[in-house]
Homo-oligomer: A and B are copies of this chain.
């Protein structure tokens, strides 16, 4: 039998409403009553029923987080940050996974809406999404959709990709293959755009066959790397625009017996722990995932606390930094 206010009330000989007030720190409760109630609650192992509380107070103290995949290092790290921030402010967090599938995204949004979440952090999978039911504040994280009126926080993808390619250009590379994920993601768009900007500035083209669109998977990273290696004229450098892609590329390189950076330079995006211990340690553009998570949480939290009286939506971009390690060198 799990304890309820009713039971505590009976034991203490007071009304349920008094118990509620005592336990919730309402000021108008006599110290004696409060003490007795608190003691009884503790003795009975009372735990408030969140469903009842949410129903009655019309506030669930819960936020939703919708992301593509928990196994992805970037999202796992962001989620850990979000979880901590929300917990600190008394919000529960409920997670939903989309696998970048718009129909799963729709279901996730419905589920969270049913759960009466008070706000949402969303990594959008499609250009347009609809929030069923109550219209709560949403912040888009990492990627953005075409929706207006929502806060967005992401890393400075364009500048990051530009910096990566500039690094390669500075080393003397002129034929650079770019391996990216899903063409429709805003991140892909911006990374390609940044790469192109750097190339343009150097008066170099980015031929279509050097630009390899696919999916953010290890498998595509490997396949695209093999395709890049087979290109004629052969690229002297490869930019793998995520850690998953880099993992696949690196694996393919090792299988093909391609020596990095002697035969070919490789740069990645993202910076999981293992980039430092792989063969060779990877030059990479580190995304500011901790900051992105923090800012997403802060943005949502401030909307929830009503601090921001419906001002314009924010659009925050956080800069990352290039970490030069051993996978890049001048072309042979």
- Residues of chain A touching chain B, judged by Cβ–Cβ distance below 8 Å, are 2-3, 45, 47-52, 54-55, 60, 69-71, 76-77, 79-80, 83, 92-95, 97, 110-111, 113-116, 132-134, 218, 247, 250-251, 254, 272-274, 276-281
Contacts of A47 in B (CB 8 A): 110, 113-114, 132-133
Contacts of A92 in B (CB 8 A): 94, 111, 115
Q: Is B276 a contact partner of A277 (Cβ separation < 8 A)?
A: no
Contacts of A49 in B (CB 8 A): 55, 114, 116
13 A-B Cβ contacts within 8 A?
A: A2-B134, A45-B133, A49-B55, A51-B51, A70-B76, A70-B79, A71-B76, A71-B77, A93-B95, A95-B95, A247-B274, A272-B274, A278-B278
Provide the main secondary structure of the chain A interface.
mixed
Q: In the docked arrangement, what's the CA distance between A54 and B54, Å? A: 11
Q: In the docked arrangement, what's the CA distance between A251 and B276, Å? A: 8
Q: How far is the CB of A196 from chain B (nearest CB, A)?
A: 29
Name A247's contact: one of B3, B60, B251, B273 (CB within 8 Å): B273
Contacts of A247 in B (CB 8 A): 273-274, 277
Q: In the docked arrangement, what's the CA distance between A149 and B71, Å? A: 32
Q: In the docked arrangement, what's the CA distance between A115 and B48, Å? A: 9
Report the nearest B residue to A84, measured CB to CB.
B97
Q: Is A132 a contact partner of B55 (Cβ separation < 8 A)?
A: no
Q: How far is the CB of A221 from chain B (nearest CB, A)?
A: 11
Contacts of A279 in B (CB 8 A): 277-281
Q: Is B70 a contact partner of A80 (Cβ separation < 8 A)?
A: yes
Report the nearest B residue to A58, measured CB to CB.
B51
Contacts of A274 in B (CB 8 A): 247, 272, 274, 278
Q: How far is the CB of A64 from chain B (nearest CB, A)?
A: 11
Report the nearest B residue to A97, measured CB to CB.
B83
Contacts of A280 in B (CB 8 A): 279
Contacts of A69 in B (CB 8 A): 80
Interface centre among A76, A250, A272, by most chain B C-beta atoms within 10 angstroms, is A76
Contacts of A50 in B (CB 8 A): 51, 114-116
Q: In the docked arrangement, what's the CA distance between A50 and B134, Å? A: 14
Q: How far is the CB of A268 from chain B (nearest CB, A)?
A: 12
Report the nearest B residue to A94, measured CB to CB.
B94
Q: In the docked arrangement, what's the CA distance between A277 and B273, Å? A: 13
Contacts of A278 in B (CB 8 A): 274, 277-279
> Assuming A48-B114, A71-B77, A76-B76, what are 17 further A-B pairs, CB within 8 angstroms?
A3-B133, A47-B114, A50-B114, A51-B60, A51-B115, A51-B116, A52-B55, A69-B80, A92-B115, A247-B273, A247-B274, A250-B277, A254-B277, A274-B278, A278-B278, A278-B279, A279-B279
